[in-house]
Amino acid sequence: MQYLGYLSGICITLSFLPYLIYIFKGQTRPERASWLLWSILGGIAFFTQLSKGASYSLWLPGVQAIGDLLIFILSIKYGMGGFSKRDKWALGIAGGSLILWFITREATLTLLLAILIDAAGAYLTIVKSYKYPTTEPVISWELTMLGGFFAIFAVNKFNWVLLAFPVYTFVANVFITMSIRLGRQKLIEKN
């Protein structure tokens, strides 16, 4: 189990490297609202799972929170989006969920709300990736998907609370990866 947690952390760490390189090359344009949501939620997911007894699977949300914050900061200058109706909708859901979390202070509900908010950010990136598939490096999302996969098996006991974030991470990144690939296929067919 321990080595799978480390593999998850390595995959997540590696996923940020091509993303950062492509940002500075001008080939990647992060969706601002997504990365803002993910920055906040990575921290919430980390501390929630820590409070519920997670150990080796903590590499996934910990590394992800730090990397997400870095990309959000870069997205302010190099990104796109942030003020569309879709962005405001996702940020509104996130704000409402954070208020509910603040009121309840229940770790399990917090984690589920964090996943809901994260999914709002994933939705924005899925739509953007399909429309503008050349603005996202598919390798970064595949590595994040792989990190989620390893984190699932790093959970040392069957506990749906501890499994929820890794499973969600894996599934969300499957959809992001598919949207990039389908968007690229659409561009090829168009030309």
pLDDT digits (tens, 9 = 90+) for 20-39: 999 999 999 998 988 888 88
Question: Could you tell me where the beta strands, DSSP code E, fall in 92-135?
Answer: none
Q: What is the mean pLDDT of each run of 10 residues along the chain (191 residues)?
A: 83 92 94 86 76 73 87 94 76 76 76 83 92 95 94 85 89 98 94 77
CA-CA distance, 151 to 143, in Å (whole number)? 12
- Residue 48 and residue 99 in contact, taking contact as beta carbons nearer than 8 Å: no
Q: Are 46 and 58 in contact (CB under 8 A)?
A: yes
Q: Which residue do the tokens 């409402």 mark? A: 96
Predicted pLDDT of residue 59: 74
Answer for the pair 108, 38: CB distance below 8 angstroms, yes or no.
no
Domain ranges of the chain: 2-190
Q: What is the pLDDT of residue 41?
A: 78
Say what the pLDDT of residue 1 is.
67
